[in-house]
Amino acid sequence: MPGSELESMAANYARQAMKLDKQGSRSLAVIKYQRAIEILLKLCQIYPDQQSNPTYLKHIEAYSSRVRALQRQTSDSGKQEKSEKEPNEFILTEKPDVQWEDVVGLESAKKAVEESIIFPVKRADLFPLGWPRGILLFGPSGCGKTLLAAAVSSQIDATFFYVDAASIMSKWLGESEKNVSKLFSASRKAADNSKPAIIFIDEIDSMTSVQKEEVGGEIRARNQFLREMDSLVDKKKRLHIYVIGATNKPWNLDEAFIRRFQKRIMVPLPDSEARREMFEMYTRGLELGEDVDLKELAETTEGYSGSDIHDLCQAVQMKVVREFFETIENEDDTRKPRMLSLSDFQNVLENRKPSVTPYMLYNFQRWADEFKAH
Ligand SMILES: Nc1ncnc2c1ncn2[C@@H]1O[C@H](COP(=O)(O)OP(=O)(O)OP(=O)(O)O)[C@@H](O)[C@H]1O
Ligand SMILES: [Mg+2]
């Protein structure tokens, strides 16, 4: 089907949006809804005769009205708390409810983020050569880069700016350069009062990969970004502004970009121990039969990402619930679904392959060998 890749991208954004919405992360949810809307609109434009267009339009309407509602709520609470400040669409006013412990594994990434921000904030005098301002997290899809960003914002006491690079580059086409400088000037303002400011740029590859087909100011936006990054390292002004970029396509970044991120850290697929912890986390609220051995499941799911494991557990639960509804006799029936058994997991596993292929992994490893910097 034409456009199926775009459709699944839109679905993915919508899913993330709804999840964030449920967690109460309004600004993040708005960004993701907007991305979904944008892609669906694009689909309708490219394939005007598609049968699914009426459905897309319905989704677009639903997401747009949710965005408006969320924006109203955000500006209302903004008005109450800090009416003197100008509204800024990039600032995360509410902290997402994700803790360090919710991010399984990724010790080196957590440590790098913590050390590079906390040490210089505490004792700038110990860093006569300055300190790294840019941290790049790269790795296969679904392994916790975005999740880690959410945890950073709630664990490190800083003003947190979240931007989806693709939205900066496309939604305000032609104004992307202005958006980049607005973002950095807002962060400079925020960092003035002894609290660090963290700018998280998700899917940062979309800032450089569009440059081949410049439509309206993408190259200027990219150059503006490089200039802003350089101005952070001004030796006289020891600003505590940190830029964390995340990407699953590091090979699309050019050298000028790579150089600005002095720390480059791979966020890898979970190892067997991390997979066991994820199985534990994602089956916490579920009833497991005695034959379900999470350690064994972890061992048989080599190559699966964190998000694969999450989806797997969800699918197993769904299977049992579906079965339950099929047998339910009337509304007063108060029976509960049966426990999950090992064979439920095995059945679902048979029909779900890892979303990251060995070839992709090979590419990440090669890029890491060339460019990693801890
Ligand atoms: N390390 C992890 N610990 C716990 N859950 C994880 C982890 N990695 C992934 N997950 C689960 O998978 C979901 C998707 O992860 P996330 O969005 O952070 O991936 P990502 O690395 O940003 O992927 P992409 O490159 O596609 O943006 C999370 O919301 C979480 O449910
Ligand atoms: Mg992500």
What CATH number is associated with residue 45?
1.20.58.80
- Calpha distance 245→8 (Å, rounded): 23
Pocket test for ligand 1, best of 15, 103, 143 (most atoms within 8 A of CB): 143
Residues 105 and 77 in one domain: no
Q: Is any ligand 1 atom within 6 A of the Cβ of residue 250? A: no
Out of 87, 104, 121, a domain closes at 87
Out of 23, 54, 87, a domain closes at 87
Q: Give residue 83's pLDDT.
A: 33
Residue 230 has pLDDT above 50, yes or no: yes
Residues 143 and 277 in one domain: no
| Full residue range of the structural domain in which residue 35 is found | 1-87
Residues 168 and 122 in one domain: yes
Q: Is any ligand 1 atom within 6 A of the Cβ of residue 340? A: no
Q: Is any ligand 1 atom within 6 A of the Cβ of residue 39? A: no
Q: Is 234 helix (H, G, I), strand (E, B) or coil?
A: coil
Q: How many CB atoms lie within 10 A of CB 14?
A: 20
CA of 16 to the centre of ligand 2 (A): 10
Residue 81 has pLDDT above 70, yes or no: no
Residues 232 and 322 in one domain: no
Q: Give residue 289's pLDDT.
A: 92
What CATH code is carried by the domain that includes residue 197?
3.40.50.300
Can you read off the two tokens belonging to residue 259? 């150089």
1-5, 43-47, 79-83, 120-124: range with highest mean pLDDT: 120-124
Residues 82 and 215 in one domain: no
Q: Give residue 241's pLDDT.
A: 93
- For residue 171, name the pLDDT band (cuts at 50, 70, 90): low
Out of 23, 58, 87, a domain closes at 87
Higher pLDDT, 80 or 124: 124
Residues 217 and 330 in one domain: no
- Cα angle, residue 290 at apex, residues 144 and 324 outer, rounded to 5°: 80
How much is the CA Rg of the chain, to the nearest whole Å?
22
Per residue in 117-154, pLDDT tens?
888 888 888 988 888 899 999 999 999 998 998 888 88
Q: Give residue 348's pLDDT.
A: 94
| Number of structural domains found in the chain | 3
Per residue in 56-76, pLDDT tens?
888 888 898 898 888 777 666
Mean pLDDT of 204-216: 65
Per residue in 262-286, pLDDT tens?
999 999 999 999 999 999 999 998 8
Q: Is 164 helix (H, G, I), strand (E, B) or coil?
A: strand
**Beta-ladder partners of 365:** none
CA of 372 to the centre of ligand 2 (A): 19
Q: What is the pTM of this model?
A: 0.76
Q: Give residue 80's pLDDT.
A: 44
Residues 237 and 303 in one domain: no
- For residue 84, name the pLDDT band (cuts at 50, 70, 90): very low
The 197-202 sheet, strands edge to edge: 159-164, 197-202, 241-247, 134-138, 263-266
Residues 247 and 290 in one domain: no
Residue 107 has pLDDT above 70, yes or no: yes
Can you read off the two tokens belonging to residue 45? 């434009």
Can you read off the two tokens belonging to residue 345? 């997991």
Pairing of strands 197-202, 159-164: parallel
Higher pLDDT, 140 or 171: 140
Residues 134 and 239 in one domain: yes
Residues 261 and 138 in one domain: yes
Q: Taking each helix axis from N to C terminus, what angle separates 26-46 and 53-81, rounded to the nearest 10 degrees? A: 150
Q: Is any ligand 1 atom within 6 A of the Cβ of residue 147? A: yes
Residues 121 and 206 in one domain: yes
What CATH code is carried by the domain that includes residue 341?
1.10.8.60
Q: Give residue 77's pLDDT.
A: 62
Closest atom of ligand 1 to CA, residue 307: 12
Question: In the predicted model, what is the mean pLDDT of the chain?
Answer: 85
Higher pLDDT, 173 or 53: 53
Residues 283 and 251 in one domain: no
Q: Which of 125-139, 199-213, 292-306 has the lowest mean pLDDT?
A: 199-213
Q: Is any ligand 1 atom within 6 A of the Cβ of residue 206? A: no
Q: Is any ligand 1 atom within 6 A of the Cβ of residue 278? A: yes
Mean pLDDT of 230-243: 82
- For residue 367, name the pLDDT band (cuts at 50, 70, 90): very high
Q: How many CB atoms lie within 10 A of CB 243?
A: 25
Q: Give residue 94's pLDDT.
A: 63
